[in-house]
Amino acid sequence: MSDLHEEKIKYLEGMANRIRERIIETLLEAGSGHSAGPLGMADIFTALYFHILNHNPKKPNWPDRDRLVLSCGHICPVQYVTLAYAGYFPLEELKTLRKLNSRLQGHPHRTALPGVETTSGPLGSGLSQAIGLALAARLDGKKYRIYCVASDGEHDEGNFWEAVMFAGKYKLNNLTLIVDRNNIQIDGYTEQVMPLEPLREKYEAFRWNVLGVDGHNIHDFVDAVNEAKAIYEKPTVIIAHTIPGKGVSFMEGEYTWHGKPPNKEEAKKALHELRTLGRHIESEHE
């Protein structure tokens, strides 16, 4: 992992904003899909693919690559856009999201697209898949790491907690779970639908190392990932506090944007806000 100097932070922040813009354009073209989660996770996916992960877009099946498992498959627009910017497939293909015969379906399909490690859709199952990969790496004596991105709403699933217990028992220190703690799910706010707090204490009870970060502070997120690498006796969960719909004023914090795309007028307004923000990011670092 290269040093996270000021110029790199500027680059990553700018890339995250471009990814948000492309998410809006892609969802508008598709006419369906999820807005809030993908926008909220743009900073984290940018940090992962452009700074943290040991991967090679020209060799997507390189055996020693780090693996990223997207458990909450409905936020795949952010992964698709990030993969395209990283060089896994042409940006033009993003226009095919959710269309017939597209490689970019509404939930990721493992064999369809380079860079996608697992098929996801049923919420709560991704952590178990990541655990399988982590165990395989341990058995094979490999040094690559496993990262799993999960939503806070997935914690409503019983099998998710079975996986949490399993990883704690077997001390899977090569596994880092990133929880998108945006406090929303399709039916409303998490603490009203099914309260999760105290979330940190629950993970600690299951023998996990727990870190909390601002999911929009790339520097702090990278620091948390580095700290996870230094923990040898247990797996690490990074509870990333994010704002759903980040960067678009009328979407931020609104659970109603969990599972719908913008219409033409909404997309126009969203893109104006994001492009204004992009210019601010450029000027702020000059």
Q: Listing from the earlier edge strand, what are the strands of the sheet with 146-151?
A: 67-70, 146-151, 175-181, 236-241, 209-214
- Report strand pairing: 188-189 vs 184-185: antiparallel
The model's confidence at residue 2, banded by pLDDT at 50, 70 and 90, is low
Closest CA to 237 of 140, 163, 184, 185: 163
User: pLDDT value at position 19?
Assistant: 98
pLDDT at 176: 98
Mean pLDDT of 103-127: 95
Which amino acid makes up residue 59? K
Average pLDDT over every residue of 67-88: 98
Tell me the one-letter amino acid at 8: K
Q: What is the pLDDT of residue 261?
A: 98
* Mean pLDDT of the 228-242 span: 98
Q: Is pLDDT at 1 greater than 80 in this prediction?
A: no
Domains of the chain, by residue range, sit at 6-284
Q: Mean pLDDT throughout 84-106? A: 97
Q: What percent of the chain has pLDDT over 90?
A: 95
pLDDT tens per residue across span 135-173:
999 999 999 999 999 999 999 999 999 999 999 999 999
Rounded Cα–Cα distance for residues 120 and 274 (Å): 29
Q: How sure is the predictor about 73, in pLDDT bands with cuts at 50, 70 and 90?
A: very high
Summarised one tens digit per residue, pLDDT across range 43-54 is 999 999 999 999
**pLDDT: which is higher, 5 or 222:** 222
Is domain 6-284 in CATH 3.40.50.300, yes or no? no
pLDDT for 177-206, tens place per residue? 999 999 999 999 999 999 999 999 999 999
Query: Does the pLDDT value for residue 79 go beyond 90?
Result: yes
Nearest to 208 by CA among 182, 178, 180: 178
To the nearest whole number, what is the mean pLDDT of the chain? 96
pTM of the shown model? 0.97
pLDDT at 282: 83
